[in-house]
Amino acid sequence: MIEHGVFDHWELGTSKFLINSHEFVSIDNLVGPNLGNDGRRLLSLNICDGGVSDGLGGIQKLGLAPSLACPSLATVSHLWPDEPHVASAFCLIMCSELVSTREGHFKTFLETLKRIREPWSQLVEILREQFGGEIVERLEKFNTADDIFNWASPVYFQ
């Protein structure tokens, strides 16, 4: 998911994500009961600071991703504001790896971390072959993901 969040500090249970120009999805709908899948589900939140937790000196489980992680749900998010092009590529790579390798969530996450550091033009070409469309066209226009702040923010919680 790549979106903007909405939160009312004065009304509990109102946290939600804007998923397009006029539709929202609530956090409760994202982390609701397991829908009968065997094993653990994976929720990837490409949101700024979604992975901030006590490991960075904050309150334990303060971040959205660590607070949602539980025995039936692993989460992936970012430790700081993520560059949208790199975040999009990260999610596309992770989807591709999940489908093609079936190695499990954590191994897929580790492989995605490696692949996001490949030369950008090479990575975009591979993504074009697998996905195509407007998102890949946007990735082509982006310069580089070489900066550590672009590729090092994803974090995995279980």
Question: Looking at per-residue confidence, does 16 or 78 come out higher?
Answer: 78
> Does residue 154 have a pLDDT over 60?
yes
**pLDDT tens per residue across span 85-94:** 888 899 999 9
Q: What is the C-alpha to C-alpha distance for residues 137 and 39, in angstroms, rounded to an integer?
A: 35
- In this predicted structure, what is the pLDDT of residue 1? 43
**What pLDDT, on a 0 to 100 scale, did the predictor assign at position 2?**
46
Euclidean distance between CA atoms 83 and 123, whole angstroms? 16
Report domain extents, the chain. Answer: 1-30, 39-157
Mean pLDDT for 146-153 is 81
Least reliable range by pLDDT among 55-59, 61-65, 91-95, 115-119: 55-59
CA distances to 24, 73, 89, 94 from 19, rounded to whole Å, are 6, 21, 18, 19
Residues 6+ apart with CB under 8 A from 107: 101
Degrees to nearest 5, angle at CA 152 with 151 and 157: 120
Extract the tokens encoding 125: 């070409």
Token pair in block for residue 81: 């504001």
Beta partners for residue 25, in sequence order:
17
17 within 8 A of 44, measured Cβ to Cβ: no
Phi/psi-derived region of residue 79, left when phi > 0, alpha when psi is between -120 and 50, beta in every other case: alpha
Split at pLDDT 50, 70, 90, the class of 21 is confident
> If you average pLDDT over residues 26-38, what whole number do you get?
62
58: confidence class by pLDDT, cuts 50, 70, 90? low
Residue 114 is predicted with a pLDDT of 93
